[in-house]
Amino acid sequence: MSNKIAVLGSINVDTTYHMDRFPQPGETLQAKDKSSAPGGKGANQSVACARSGAKTYHIGMVGADQEGQFMRESMQEDGIDTKFVGIDKMHGTGTAMITLDAEGQNDIMVYGGANQAMTTDVLKNTDDLFKEIDFIITQFETPQKVSAEAFKRAKENGVTTILNPAPAKDIDPELLKYTDVIAPNETESALLTGIEITDEDSMIKTAEYFKAKGVPNLLITLGSKGVFYSTPNDHGLVPAFKVKPVDTTAAGDTFIGALTSQLKTDLSNIADALVYAQRASSLTVQKMGAAPSIPTYDEVKAALAESGK
């Protein structure tokens, strides 16, 4: 039985400018190339869930424009159920402008559009959905008020809730109250808690910080160093797979979606699910683009077999 997952989150069209290096303030540089692709943290995570075999529903908003139609069709091609993706006639579909250098590093400017204008109205007609799903995931490219209401409904129906607090900002305590798993990267973690991630002790302190706020489970992604996990029963570090990155866009989104696709709702297989998610993420960074670079279940399993996992 595959997991049933709802992702509440952003839907963007990503435009990437390929550069030798990032421009300095006031400097104009020629781009080597330009490409557009489906993106947005929420949509990327839905794609990662779906490509790893989960029955995936997306809750979100697009504008009444060509980009919105493009994104709905693109998600449907991946088998994602978009009946909970609304159309905002007042705001455009979210867009992101990505600058990518020769080393595979990126910086990103985002226009929130319909994503940021979302209200709890997007949750109407979702009663049956919350009775059906195993997990719900959200991030911070859509309003936290909507996420808090969705997580509250999820908890009323015994659904496991996963918060990816990216990009990092102050968290609504109401949202934390209904969060089962929080999954920042090391930079986001330090911004949210004030605890610099330097060693295992600092990671355990971070887990205690979130437990005090009502969140029992913590994952901190550490880039090339792997991922730290802490549950009420266990904690540990799962190493990363060593690869040469071409484009790090969507690496974190792939990790979250791939992980949730394999995770049991009681988190009893978290170590194995993390290995799968790390492998999926390592494949994503070896290809260009956000959604186009996210691997399928078969691709991840083949890569795991190749690396003897």
The Cα–Cα gap between 244 and 246 comes to 7
**Beta-carbon neighbour count of residue 222 at 10 Å?**
17
The residue whose two tokens read 């799903």 is: 133
Residue 128, both tokens: 């049956």
User: What is the reported pLDDT for 292?
Assistant: 81
Task: Return the biggest CA–CA distance within the chain.
Answer: 54
With b meaning 16 or more CB within 10 Å and e meaning fewer, what string describes 18-50? bbeeeeeeeeeeeeeeeeebbbbbbbbbbbbbb
Give the residues of the chain that fall short of pLDDT 50. none
pLDDT at 287: 87
Strands 12-18 and 33-39: antiparallel
pLDDT value at position 249? 76
pLDDT reported for residue 35: 86
CATH number at residue 264: 3.40.1190.20
Predicted confidence at residue 244, as pLDDT, reads 85
pLDDT, residue 286, reads: 85
Q: Is the peptide bond between 167 and the residue preceding it cis, with omega within 30 degrees of 0?
A: yes
Binding residues for substrate: 12-14, 40-44, 141, 253
Active site residues: 253
User: Are 111 and 94 contacting, i.e. CB atoms less than 8 angstroms apart?
Assistant: yes
**Domain count along the chain:** 1
Q: Which amino acid is at 297?
A: Y
User: What is the pLDDT at residue 266?
Assistant: 95
State which H helix or E strand residue 148 sits in.
Answer: helix 144-156
The model carries a pTM of: 0.92
Burial (0-12, 13-18, 19+ Cβ within 10 Å), 90: exposed
CA distances (Å), 258 to each of 6, 47, 51, 82, in order? 13, 9, 8, 19
Structural domain for 241, as ranges:
4-23+32-306
Counting every residue, how long is the chain?
309
**Numbered residues of the known binding site for K(+):** 247, 249, 284, 287, 289, 293
pLDDT of the residue at 239: 93
